[in-house]
Amino acid sequence: MNNSLRELAVVEYGASPKEIRVDFTTPFKIYGTGGCVGYAKDFLFEGPLIVVARKGTLDNLFYSEKNCWVIDTGYAVIPKQDVNAKWLYYQLSNFDLKKLNEATGVPSISRDLLYRIKFHKASPSEQNKIAKILSTADAVIEKTQVALAKYKAIKQGLLQDLFIRGIDITTGKLRPRHEDAPELYKESKLGLIPNEWEEKEFKELIKSIDSGWSPNCLVEPATTGEWGSLKTTSVTWDGYNPNENKKLPANVLPLEEIQVDFDDILITRVGPRERVGVVVHVNDPRKKLMLSDNMLRFKIVKDQNIFLPFLALSLGSRYVQSEWQKRISGLAEAQVVINQQIIRKTIILFPKSQEQQAIYERANNIMSKIKIEQLYLDKLQQIKQGLMSDLLGGRKIVKVPGELVTQNEN
């Protein structure tokens, strides 16, 4: 048995907040298709309700427990009596609303089509139980997201300090700030740096530069023993992932000279702005994987006391990345390019070898925590998605004490 949204809720049009918007915080949030966009001196709808986009990003939904205002590009989905608002929110979240788009320009949904959506029927007590289970999952996910955001903020601050103050090897601590110990610092092209540090242009460290190749490959990834071409998604700030690749067809000969090797420095050279200039040090290569033409591969001169993980960390630092972002080019944010000359002229700050390792280890500690939290968050989100699919679709029985359960397990 199914219920249509028309049986479960009333869908109301939002309205322009022009006359009621205020520039201070009130109990009444104004919701748009991107979430809370301000505050109102009065409310348009009583909560709880679900905000669904009428135009724009159709799969952005928001739940409001309290009275609020919904702007004119959105709908307020107000549950009827004995319908759990949070359960209905999860049902709508689990439905692909983009399928209802009926516009050729800006995506939009008509109220009539929204009303026709059907959901697996559940009694009020079952709805309450499902909403509680999924809300508990959301609470754990939110707690993990907060922890992840905290670690990322710590990482940013730490990296800023590490590339300004470095680590005093004798104490294992950050050097005192310049304001407290000016005698420990000297002037450089990049500002004040520790006395022991050197400046070098990246081109002084480069043994060779290779561009990749992207033949017509199969969508499926290459397994061990098969030749593949790395996708740009294999190079992320979380590291190098050899499993992100496309399989080379049997009738296409590989270019073995661009096989990714141990200690390569890979830099993404073309793509969306946020994906260009991403740097990794390859420390776990897999045989028979070629470099993609959307990447550059740098091999580094071995006899310059360079700790390569530190070099990759340095190229990913704020001062380098901000310079690269000023110089990359492209017709649109979705497709920009960084060329070899920009990278070759990059100024790198170099401590002594022992300090390079100490800086990397300090940064790697927090990066490892971020990776663990991210993996945990991914796992939680997968679990929640599975729960939503099973519970909301009626594939699993929600047993409610004292109530006869009539659902059938599939």
CA 32 to chain centre: 22
Question: How confident is the model over 124-153, as a mean pLDDT?
Answer: 95
Query: In this structure, what are the phi and psi dihedrals at residue 271, rounded to the nearest 5 degrees?
Result: 145, -165
Q: How far apart are CA 323 and CA 338, in angstroms?
A: 11
Fill in the DSSP letter of residue 108. Answer: B
**Residue 401 pLDDT:** 62
SS3 299: strand
**Residue 10 pLDDT:** 97
**Residue 287 pLDDT:** 92
Look at residue 397 and tell me whether its pLDDT is greater than 80.
no
Q: How far apart are CA 13 and CA 6, in angstroms?
A: 15
**Residue 407 pLDDT:** 43
SS3 204: helix
**Residue 400 pLDDT:** 66
Fill in the DSSP letter of residue 169. Answer: T
Over the stretch 362-378, which tens digit does the pLDDT of each residue have?
999 999 999 999 999 99
Beta strand 21-22 with 35-40 is: antiparallel
**Residue 410 pLDDT:** 41
Using an 8 Å Cβ cutoff, are 206 and 214 in contact? no
**Residue 331 pLDDT:** 63
Q: How far apart are CA 385 and CA 395, in angstroms?
A: 13
Look at residue 284 and tell me whether its pLDDT is greater than 60.
yes
Look at residue 405 and tell me whether its pLDDT is greater than 60.
no
Confidence of residue 404 (pLDDT cuts 50, 70, 90): very low
Pull the structure tokens for residue 341.
């000359």
Strand segments, DSSP code E, in 195-294 are 198-201, 206-211, 228-230, 235-236, 239-240, 245-247, 265-268, 270-271, 279-281, 289-290
CA distances (Å), origin 105, targets 51, 102, 114, 157, 353: 22, 9, 19, 43, 57
Pull the structure tokens for residue 305.
């006391």
**Residue 46 pLDDT:** 97
CA 155 to chain centre: 16
Question: How confident is the model over 278-293, as a mean pLDDT?
Answer: 92
Q: How far apart are CA 49 and CA 31, in angstroms?
A: 11
Of 11-25, 224-238, 319-333, 354-368, least confident by mean pLDDT is 319-333
**Residue 142 pLDDT:** 96
Look at residue 344 and tell me whether its pLDDT is greater than 80.
yes
**Residue 88 pLDDT:** 97
**Residue 7 pLDDT:** 96
**Domains of the chain, each with CATH number or no CATH:** 2-121 (3.90.220.20), 142-195+353-397 (1.10.287.1120), 198-350 (3.90.220.20)
Look at residue 123 and tell me whether its pLDDT is greater than 50.
yes
